[in-house]
Amino acid sequence: MLKLWLGRARVRLVYALAYGVKEVRERGFFAGGFWPPLPNLTEVPALAKARSQANLYELALRHLPGPRPEPRAVLDIGCGAGGGLVYAHAVFPAARLVGVDTNGAALKTAWTRLAKVQNLELRQVPGDRTRLPPHSFDIIVGIGCVNAIGPSELLGECARLLAPGGVVSLTAGFALAPADVQVLFHAAAWQAGLVLRQVSEITEGTRAALAQDRPWAESVIAKVPAPLRNRAREMAALPGTRTAKAMAEGRVRSYAILVDHPVAAWDAPRLRAA
């Protein structure tokens, strides 16, 4: 338990420091992406330098959930500097958008980036204690945040926030086989009163994005404080790291996870491994 807590604490610390770097704030994302482009990826000029990250949001917001009514409200847990919310606004222009994050510097940048979006709310709160009104969101998306919060804690809050028929769409990396991730999230969803619909491995797609974005990641990590630089390289799975080796050997994998409200009556498309 202590090892798990320390691992999450290190993830949160590196994440917090990363948004102190100007280039990360300007890009709008800290998390990795997904590649190659999905068929319905919307080209957003403001995200032209972060296409793989926009593509990951396309995966989470539309591709994995499949055809559904346009959402009335979308929540991004761990929204960072707002790049994902920019993409959400591009594909769901009528939806109310809410982003939560614990990083004040990132949220300040997000406010500036999204200044022209009228139906928007940003809050500096933990993702498992948002204090947002219950049953408010049709789509809740979380890119990597479950690694810092934990499946049970995150899905417990999502269950409170999700509207009937709504969906929780997550991406994360684990040193677990697909069957073990299935068991982990089935238990967390059941405990929260939700239903696990799908676990899809997306490792090859995330590795392709990491390769494409490597020059940018190297330049950013060079500005991270020296004591945390190795940890940042591990989180970015850069060549030569233990994480990169583990991903190449299949010991660390990336996943897309879909959980929904028990009253949902639609079938999500099966995502093919990239």
In this predicted structure, the answer to whether residue 59 has a pLDDT above a threshold of 80 is yes
CB-facing half-sphere around the CA of 183: CA atoms within 13 A = 4
Give me the residue label for tokens 């939560």.
100
- Average pLDDT value for residue range 198-223: 88
Helices (H), 19-121: 22-27, 51-58, 83-91, 104-113
CA distances from 83 to 2, 56, 131 (A): 33, 11, 23
Mean pLDDT of the chain: 86
User: What CA–CA distance (Å, rounded) separates 75 from 158?
Assistant: 10
Q: Please tell me the CATH code under which domain 2-260 is placed.
A: 3.40.50.150
User: What CA–CA distance (Å, rounded) separates 158 from 86?
Assistant: 22
What is residue 71's predicted lDDT score, i.e. its pLDDT?
97
- Average pLDDT value for residue range 63-87: 95
**pLDDT one-digit tens code per residue, 125-183:** 999 999 999 999 999 999 999 988 999 999 999 999 999 999 999 999 999 999 999 99
The set of residues, in sequence order, having a beta carbon less than 8 Å from that of 4 and lying 6+ positions away, is 150
What is residue 240's predicted lDDT score, i.e. its pLDDT?
84
CB 251 within 8 A of CB 176: no
**pLDDT one-digit tens code per residue, 10-39:** 555 555 556 666 655 566 556 689 999 999
**pLDDT one-digit tens code per residue, 230-270:** 877 777 777 788 888 998 999 999 999 999 988 754 444 44
CB count in 10 Å sphere of residue 9: 11
- Average pLDDT value for residue range 212-221: 82
pLDDT > 70 in the chain, percent: 85
The set of residues, in sequence order, having a beta carbon less than 8 Å from that of 70 and lying 6+ positions away, is 92, 94, 95
At residue 192 the predicted structure's pLDDT band, cuts being 50, 70 and 90, is very high
- Average pLDDT value for residue range 88-111: 95
User: What CA–CA distance (Å, rounded) separates 237 from 270?
Assistant: 27
In this predicted structure, the answer to whether residue 273 has a pLDDT above a threshold of 60 is no
pLDDT > 90 in the chain, percent: 66
Domain boundaries along the sequence of the chain:
2-260
User: What CA–CA distance (Å, rounded) separates 129 from 157?
Assistant: 7
What is residue 230's predicted lDDT score, i.e. its pLDDT?
80
At residue 218 the predicted structure's pLDDT band, cuts being 50, 70 and 90, is confident
In this predicted structure, the answer to whether residue 207 has a pLDDT above a threshold of 80 is yes
What's the pTM? 0.86
- Average pLDDT value for residue range 115-125: 96
In this predicted structure, the answer to whether residue 74 has a pLDDT above a threshold of 50 is yes
